[in-house]
Amino acid sequence: MIRWKYIRTEQDFLPNLPTYPNPLQNSPAYAIVNQHFVDPEDVVSQKIVTQKNSARGVHFRRAGPQEKVYFKSDDVRTCIVPCGGLCPGINTVIREIVCGLNYMYGVDDVPGIEGGYRGFYSRNTITLTPKSINDIHKRGGDGTQKGASVIYKKVEKRGLQVSVAEILKTIDNDIALMGRCSGFIAMYVTLGSRDVDCCLIPESPFYLEGPGGLFEFIEQRLKENGHMVIVLAEGAGQEHVAVRMDVVGVKDATGNKLLLDACWPMDLTGN
């Protein structure tokens, strides 16, 4: 017996929701590709290697376009809400969503919500079209996952015909093994590079001054090589910054601990 673990769909809480032919069937770009739709029963196994008599384990629904969709293109209004931490790559995602909706699915009602989730209340919206976002990927942007999860729960509770699509660009504490208080990405980057002299991560406390401190190590390495490369993970050294700025326990608007700027001014010349 397969033990299912998957992202819930509209039919999980709206079982009688009608379906419609996917507009991609009329797209010349997809018409030449065989079997370009994903079967609703397709799953991906969590564990690739299993033993002969072992349980089949956890499986996930396979992502991709399906032959039937739950909304008519003419009725769809897609809101794009960027919020959270800075992420320049999110504008590329926004551009592809707008162009994909317009060119592939025939959806042209795509408002952009300015000011994060507050934009829903202040009604700060702009109309997004392929022309208006043509060069948006050359500018900065940001986004988050937590708010989308809250919206999904409200949608499910009210039984609304609304889909919430999350783009996994985050490196916050929104998905397993990743987090702004987890330095494994910085650590593996350091292990894979021969140019890094020092890697600072939040899991490994360090001290700045005195014998064996960070300042002593930096000064020594600069004297030896004339330069130094430091990889600094988000969340590292927060206790030192908080003491210097006399800021403790401050949280952001979403309730997360506010991370302070960890780039400290240092004078190692003796002047």
The residues that are catalytic are 172
Q: How far apart are CA 271 and CA 169, in angstroms?
A: 43
Q: How far apart are CA 13 and CA 64, in angstroms?
A: 21
Beta strands in 29-162 (DSSP E): 43-45, 58-61, 68-69, 85-86, 111-113, 125-127, 142-143
Alpha carbons within 13 angstroms on the beta-carbon side of residue 265 total 2
Eight-state DSSP code of residue 88: T
Cα angle, residue 69 at apex, residues 64 and 75 outer, rounded to 5°: 130
Q: With beta carbons less than 8 A apart as the criterion, state whether 174 and 181 touch.
A: no
